[in-house]
Amino acid sequence: SMAAGVTIRTIRETLGLPCPVVRIMPNLPVALGKGVVLISPDDTVTEDELTALEEALKPAGLLMRVPEDKLDAGSEVSGCGPAFVYLFLDALANGGVSLPYPQALTLAAQTMIGAAEMALASGKHPGKLQSEVCSPGGTTIAGVRALEQRGARAAAMDAVIAAYERTCELTAH
């Protein structure tokens, strides 16, 4: 099932059958094979069944097994995250006011792709990578300072937390 907020227990009770249940939570970029699919099996799913499911889902992108009690938290990062990224992407492109928007958008999008791939490939903490881009007294650190002054980091964290809290509200009913 990929129904958000519908627990394995609820699925089992609704079906009324003793069958294996796996919850999955894909995100929008799976349409390009660049997404994330979180996978949360119940304890009756065999390793062979999980392997077969993962083989079928492999073209979607990154597959990550998570326990069901962590599925919602993971979904707020990977499932809601694209909307947050698109917001920042649009803001970066709009910041390039002296360029035509389509050109600025292409630059911003490729920059985000490259930065994300660098973070994954290098294994370095994002703060370390940020420090490698910033020169003391330079233009980048001035921009980072402006983002920090306006609470960009806190806003991003709050967005994920707000999404998680909303999920908890919805599943409580």
Q: pLDDT 10s per residue in the chain (173 long)? A: 998 888 999 999 999 988 999 999 999 999 999 999 999 999 999 999 999 999 999 999 999 999 999 999 999 999 999 999 999 999 999 999 899 999 999 999 999 999 999 999 999 999 999 999 999 999 999 999 999 999 999 999 999 999 999 988 887 76
User: Strands 35-41, 61-65: parallel, antiparallel or unpaired by DSSP?
Assistant: parallel
| Residue whose structure tokens are 């499932």 | 79
Look up the pTM and report it. 0.88
Give dist(CA 81, CA 75) in Å, integer: 8
Give dist(CA 108, CA 100) in Å, integer: 12
Give dist(CA 8, CA 1) in Å, integer: 9
For residue 61, what are its two tokens? Answer: 């992108």
